Structure 1
């Protein structure tokens, strides 16, 4: 025992921990130098799913030059070898000796964390007043996570070059040629190191989307994107002379708008709470079908929104509510909420802040609290004035919000009445099972025909069947208060015994009537579409089911193989194959068994409705022979939200088209 003061004792450490203590000395303390922190923990500084974000850091340098008024052209190229390059005609990164580091300044920018021209924002001669924030890693991350990085700078009549490998200088700065004094700019060529990323591929679609947005936010600046192919370069070029207004018009070209576009901008000067130049530009309109939009902070896209979007939400809600009340448009017993006004708003919002704070290093969500007040200070009066100058249009906007509020109130009351009755009235189409609870299963089946076969082949004790009529509702952009207005979704909710809820909600699942909810659709494109719509419904409006592992996808077979008898002891057999690959494997196995080539018969199911009850039980319903895939929410929740937004949002039609084009190109190459 080791003696302590006041007579107390404590046991001696075990031999295991004594050895640990002996090993803990001065050599145990490691100091990370230069770019080692980034290379040791890259996930703390950038997104590591793929290298796209480290290329975006280089693009942002060029964008900052354009935003400061020194660059009129930005060119980005994706090369066939997996590298990417960024060129601008700005002033060029300084190349003189840094007064503190005693090495060329361009070397400092790429090798020292928290270095650059964006930290001297309070000084009168600051090069960059508005940038993407002060997390402060920038192109040093690009260099740290690249196996090779080359930089060329045109400045003061000379072209300078410097080369890096794994973050270290391998080719010191030197002058490689001369140029005209007015010919200035920076060229960065980076080869991302695949060992730091889950996938080595830079996302073409993400870069295209980003560069098009940058061009919109920099009116008059020409942005070029080159994608190298075996036959040359596929080039796209964007210039928005009218900036955000032109971009918004293209974004909503195929949508029915309730009222015309309201666009404007305001940057504050002499404001007691904000720095000179802080403010925002906006373009908004209300859609007859759905809402959604894009937001930016200092030209950085905030895909996850943030406090600036919250400020916009507050402004439009308060302005529309005030207008409706002032003009006597409100209905009795109908109370407007922010969702009623916001759910159909289409918007593009771009704010400028001196020191924005973000929720993560990739800057996808703004967390600065003052952004709410900034949006309110710059936009509130302008929107109030516009609504009162355009009374017919403002009336349509208010009436749309009131209509949504009334529908929400009606649906809420309907649900409350069902709850208060104490007796759950099941949908007429539901063929229920004898038991409920963890062992019970609800099959959501595509079509009445397949539903009939499923009813005949099911285990009546544990398996319930709810047929669905065709392709359902895309519920991604439907407000939670409106979701039960759809009869199919209401049938699902009532059958399950739980109400729609959000991802962040704490939901009581004690009333859940089934332990498994199984999606059963045809093994074709339409069936996959129905699966996507149902998965969207559960992820968006019943996420607790997915989170807790209650949702499954059934995989019915596409082929049936009838094998004739093979002599005594080998009766005829019925085999099933999920797809063409499995069919090929089954046929290979039959050949290995000595079954005569061509003696078996292969038939393809056109749909679940072609299966009789016994076949459906044997292949898809029987727990011993069926194939189920469990749907879960893993760690990549943000990526899942982004994927659903891309695939299901009406505002992302152009991006979906681009993804399909890329997918078709991959298939052609294969």
Structure 2
């Protein structure tokens, strides 16, 4: 009689256990990696963005979104219509590939032969994600006198492509996409009407002359937007207070003789300075709303600051002892900014924040000279704006001095290795906890002495997850961190005195390798366990230094450049972009930083310390409550949790990239 197989052998880990996700499966398995899952608005935005890209390219004048009674949504445009012929290499109709392949679209080939010069991104996952997360999708393309219809269900083709000629005399063109979002992928199937209206209205604002319509079949309401006056009209309607000076409106775009930027790159903006009321701030990149801002907003801020600062210096308006900072000028600014960037790099797939470093120079370079000219042509208004900025600087400095007096007595002596900043304004001050003395030296030389302090740490910090609070100060590094930031260790239910906090941002800065990640984890453990109120209040941040530097040789009119990449994916994207620009990969010299100590002061400032170009992640609990986060960290950092860690590694080990 044959032996019965044991349960362990039936669940054996073998070649057949490895599963490769194909097509749109990854999206269905992990929808949160590709889109927002709180409601279906973002997957509909992908369809609206495609219609807007057609209008932006000059091929459409109308976009219509209809909310149907059966909970489906359709988006209709009068652009060129999606091509439906066979793809030369893929042996499938192009219209099918656009909706079923994660990296297929008309936005990859910029310049030569591509469908769009400027578009909302380079991920190419757009409408295929919409398709994957919908129970049904109907697509009709009107083009070349025909209508081509294709129906999908759950991301797969349900009814193959049917092409029919239009009725005689009918000259319809464009694309209509009707979507039935699948409720199981979203926390709620309800669309947030306020956000939807804002999205559609903003498209009309940014494309003067294009008509955008919202039709609701249930309520039988129709709303239409068309702004002939563009950004000024829109900002005027949304301002909460009267502008202190006339609105400052302008635009600037690179021409083909520009050495640094591609033809057509640039920005249009409208700025209003008000003395009271909440500020209205909206920014877009190639019509995509960037709700979390980004480098184009940093460029606007820098351009405004530099122009106002030079006006104040020219007319000797700054009182003695007052130091002007960018926020003093920017604090009362409301604006709408629309940037055009050729290959925009966004943070995350949902494109909330622009990360392209060059956008700071791009926007600032156009804003500054135009505002400088305007201020010097309207000196009275210039003086009024200077007065607003100086007043903001004086009240900021006054507040900083008050705090200093209150905490002056009985303060512990600051650690000798701390290189402090000059300012006492907690809102702007930052301290960098830097791994190693050599990196600390570069950081001290490269920092902004006014607002940035540096505390070098020697060796790895203690794992404090199971250390009693009253034993913490036996460790010198932890003692120095606590004294430097001005807050004592505390528990989640304590009410610590945060009035002694000396820095608004406490930034962990370690190498971009495995050891650096380990130091990050140990410091995050320290802050979560013993300084939880700092985490809760958003004071703890992690700086992301780059792993690679790419030296790109001069090409055509573009000068030689140094570009930094955070990881392997960014490195691949940079090399791809160079290849598109006609620079062979072997001509690009790639250097990998072994650590922060290898960077000189200027490189460290440019990549990691400069608020306009660095990447700084705030530490948040996201979708976990405190107890949930505590459970996860106990599993990862607890001494008696080896079995739980092993189970985690067995379950998720294949998702981890190992850097050896």
TM-score strictly above 0.5:
yes
1:264 equivalent among 250, 257, 266: 250
Contact (CA 8 Å) 1:129, 1:354: kept in 2 or not? yes
Tell me the distance in 1 between the aligned counterparts of 2:152 and 2:351.
Answer: 26
Are 1:80 and 2:69 counterparts?
Answer: yes
Q: Deviations over 1:342-363 (max 9, x none)?
A: 1111111110011000011100
Moved more, 79-88 or 185-194: 79-88
Contact (CA 8 Å) 2:267, 2:340: kept in 1 or not? yes
Closer/same/farther in 2, CA of residues 305 and 548 from structure 1, 3 Å limit: closer
Closer/same/farther in 2, CA of residues 388 and 513 from structure 1, 3 Å limit: farther
The residue that corresponds to 1:344 in the other structure is 332
Question: 1:27, CA displacement in angstroms?
Answer: 1.3
Question: 1:29, CA displacement in angstroms?
Answer: 2.6
Are 1:377 and 2:365 counterparts?
Answer: yes
Tell me the distance in 2 between the aligned counterparts of 1:77 and 1:636.
Answer: 32
Are 1:247 and 2:247 counterparts?
Answer: no
The residue that corresponds to 2:135 in the other structure is 147
Contact (CA 8 Å) 2:136, 2:179: kept in 1 or not? yes
The residue that corresponds to 2:449 in the other structure is none
Question: 1:30, CA displacement in angstroms?
Answer: 2.0
Question: 1:379, CA displacement in angstroms?
Answer: 1.9
Provide structure 1 residue ranges, at least 5 long, that are not aligned to the other structure: 1-15, 424-478, 482-505, 519-542, 551-631, 638-670
Tell me the distance in 2 between the aligned counterparts of 1:355 and 1:281.
Answer: 18
Tell me the distance in 2 between the aligned counterparts of 1:255 and 1:372.
Answer: 28
Question: 1:514, CA displacement in angstroms?
Answer: 11
Contact (CA 8 Å) 1:75, 1:225: kept in 2 or not? yes
Question: 1:122, CA displacement in angstroms?
Answer: 3.0
1:404 equivalent among 370, 392, 395: 392
Closer/same/farther in 2, CA of residues 335 and 62 from structure 1, 3 Å limit: same
The residue that corresponds to 2:49 in the other structure is 60
Tell me the distance in 2 between the aligned counterparts of 1:70 and 1:241.
Answer: 18
Tell me the distance in 1 between the aligned counterparts of 2:427 and 2:203.
Answer: 33
Tell me the distance in 1 between the aligned counterparts of 2:289 and 2:122.
Answer: 16
Contact (CA 8 Å) 1:147, 1:166: kept in 2 or not? yes
Tell me the distance in 1 between the aligned counterparts of 2:321 and 2:9.
Answer: 74
Tell me the distance in 1 between the aligned counterparts of 2:171 and 2:342.
Answer: 30
Question: 1:215, CA displacement in angstroms?
Answer: 0.3
Question: 1:79, CA displacement in angstroms?
Answer: 2.3
Q: Deviations over 1:2-24 (max 9, x none)?
A: xxxxxxxxxxxxxx99969x933
The residue that corresponds to 1:210 in the other structure is 199
Contact (CA 8 Å) 1:295, 1:349: kept in 2 or not? yes
1:362 equivalent among 338, 345, 350: 350
The residue that corresponds to 1:106 in the other structure is 95
What secondary structure is seen at the aligned counterpart in 1 of 2:291?
coil
1:97-496 alignment, distance < 5 Å:
97-123=86-112, 125-175=113-163, 178-179=166-167, 180=169, 182-229=171-218, 232-252=219-239, 254-269=240-255, 270-289=257-276, 290-422=278-410, 480=427
Tell me the distance in 2 between the aligned counterparts of 1:168 and 1:205.
Answer: 32
Contact (CA 8 Å) 2:490, 2:532: kept in 1 or not? no
TM-score norm. by structure 2 comes to: 0.62
Provide structure 2 residue ranges, at least 5 long, that are not aligned to the other structure: 1-5, 412-425, 429-483, 497-530, 539-618, 625-660
Question: 1:31, CA displacement in angstroms?
Answer: 2.2
Tell me the distance in 2 between the aligned counterparts of 1:115 and 1:100.
Answer: 12
Q: Deviations over 1:167-211 (max 9, x none)?
A: 111111113561446310100000111111111222221110011
Tell me the distance in 1 between the aligned counterparts of 2:291 and 2:492.
Answer: 36
Q: Deviations over 1:238-271 (max 9, x none)?
A: 000111121111122x412111111111110121
Choose 1 or 2 for highest CA Rg. 1
Tell me the distance in 2 between the aligned counterparts of 1:304 and 1:296.
Answer: 10
Contact (CA 8 Å) 1:150, 1:164: kept in 2 or not? yes
Question: 1:421, CA displacement in angstroms?
Answer: 3.9
Question: 1:76, CA displacement in angstroms?
Answer: 0.6
Question: 1:636, CA displacement in angstroms?
Answer: 5.0
Moved more, 264-273 or 176-185: 176-185
What secondary structure is seen at the aligned counterpart in 1 of 2:129?
helix
Tell me the distance in 1 between the aligned counterparts of 2:173 and 2:209.
Answer: 19
Question: 1:108, CA displacement in angstroms?
Answer: 1.0
Contact (CA 8 Å) 2:285, 2:340: kept in 1 or not? yes
Question: 1:25, CA displacement in angstroms?
Answer: 2.8
Tell me the distance in 2 between the aligned counterparts of 1:295 and 1:365.
Answer: 10
Q: Deviations over 1:146-168 (max 9, x none)?
A: 00000111111122211000011
Closer/same/farther in 2, CA of residues 548 and 392 from structure 1, 3 Å limit: closer
What secondary structure is seen at the aligned counterpart in 1 of 2:250?
strand
Question: 1:301, CA displacement in angstroms?
Answer: 0.4
Tell me the distance in 2 between the aligned counterparts of 1:201 and 1:399.
Answer: 47
Tell me the distance in 1 between the aligned counterparts of 2:210 and 2:485.
Answer: 49
What secondary structure is seen at the aligned counterpart in 2 of 1:420?
coil
Contact (CA 8 Å) 2:290, 2:351: kept in 1 or not? yes
Tell me the distance in 1 between the aligned counterparts of 2:140 and 2:125.
Answer: 20
Tell me the distance in 2 between the aligned counterparts of 1:417 and 1:218.
Answer: 53
Closer/same/farther in 2, CA of residues 546 and 190 from structure 1, 3 Å limit: farther
What secondary structure is seen at the aligned counterpart in 2 of 1:64?
helix
What secondary structure is seen at the aligned counterpart in 2 of 1:23?
coil
What secondary structure is seen at the aligned counterpart in 1 of 2:38?
coil
The residue that corresponds to 2:633 in the other structure is none
Contact (CA 8 Å) 1:291, 1:342: kept in 2 or not? no
Tell me the distance in 2 between the aligned counterparts of 1:102 and 1:163.
Answer: 18
Number of equivalenced pairs? 436
Question: 1:228, CA displacement in angstroms?
Answer: 2.5
2:16 equivalent among 24, 27, 30: 27
